[in-house]
């Protein structure tokens, strides 16, 4: 099925790995959200199987949001590519640059990319908080709705992934890449969510952050590389 939706299996694999290795960033950005989610669950449901079903439902909602956004950005990219190929080149160039900057952020070498998140934080976060406040995660459906809102919170890593997906100009491929990207972030989020200290420690270690940041930068270079041959 993925082969039918995604014409670039390398891009699909890269999307998953970027989500996985970007989990260190997710732990910083989303760790507090995960904690807030845990505290908003009724106390009797904060442990055991019930907790896992609720946080898994919320995580699935977040992945669904990423997938829908990916499809929309893929459609946008396809529409722009119609008679304006330059837009796809600019999308891919900008996405590659942002991925490189995110790699630097993850590696703790440079944090200027946070300015991208501040823009979204100013305009998007208030709306998301209003939606999220209406969905107390006390049932699977409410947890899923909570996750849907969570997926729209500002995140530089998500923004770069969306721009990269838009450069595919293909709704199915872009949606698949964002779905796999979301799956890749799950270990970090679930690790921060409940008694997975070893996972959280590994993802936050300096060595892991430098290694994962280098890989994200490598994918950024890989994104830009085809443009060099066009010059």
Read off the pTM: 0.78
Residue 2 lies in a domain: no
Residue 219 lies in a domain: yes
Residue 171 lies in a domain: yes
Residue 169 lies in a domain: yes
Rounded-to-integer distance, Cα 154 and Cα 132, Å:
14
Contact call for residues 42 and 142 (beta carbons, < 8 A): no
Query: How big is the CA angle at 43 (ends 148 and 185), to the nearest 5 degrees?
Result: 35
Rg of the Cα trace of the chain?
Answer: 17
Per-residue pLDDT of the chain (231 residues; tens, 9 = 90+): 444 455 566 677 778 878 887 766 655 555 556 666 666 777 777 777 788 888 889 889 999 999 999 999 999 888 887 767 777 788 788 878 878 887 887 787 877 766 666 666 665 566 656 655 555 677 888 889 888 888 887 777 788 788 888 888 889 989 999 999 999 888 767 765 544 444 445 555 677 778 878 888 888 888 888 777 665
Question: For the chain, what is the domain count?
Answer: 1
What DSSP state is assigned to residue 1? -
Residue 78 lies in a domain: yes
Task: Residue 37: give the domain boundaries.
Answer: 7-230
Residue 1 lies in a domain: no
């Amino acid at each position: 099925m993925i082969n039918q939706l995604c014409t670039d299996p390398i891009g699909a694999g890269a999307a998953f790995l970027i989500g996985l290795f970007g989990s260190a960033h997710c732990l910083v950005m989303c760790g507090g959200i995960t904690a807030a989610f845990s505290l908003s669950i009724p106390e009797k449901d904060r442990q055991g199987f019930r907790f896992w079903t609720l946080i898994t439902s919320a995580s699935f909602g977040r992945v669904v949001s990423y997938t829908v956004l990916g499809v929309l950005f893929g459609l946008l990219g396809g529409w722009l590519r119609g008679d304006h190929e330059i837009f796809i080149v600019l999308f891919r160039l900008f996405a590659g640059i942002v991925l490189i900057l995110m790699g630097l952020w993850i590696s703790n070498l440079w944090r200027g990319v946070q300015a991208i998140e501040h823009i979204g934080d100013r305009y998007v976060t208030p709306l998301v908080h209003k939606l999220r406040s209406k969905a107390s995660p006390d049932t699977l459906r409410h947890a899923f709705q909570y996750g849907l809102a969570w997926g729209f919170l500002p995140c530089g890593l998500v923004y770069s992934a969306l721009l990269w997906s838009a450069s595919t100009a293909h709704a199915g491929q872009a949606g698949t890449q964002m779905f796999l990207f979301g799956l890749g972030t799950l270990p970090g989020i679930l690790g921060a969510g409940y008694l997975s200290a070893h996972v959280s420690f590994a993802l936050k270690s300096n060595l892991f952050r430098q290694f994962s940041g280098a890989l994200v930068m490598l994918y950024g270079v890989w994104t830009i590389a085809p443009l060099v041959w066009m010059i």
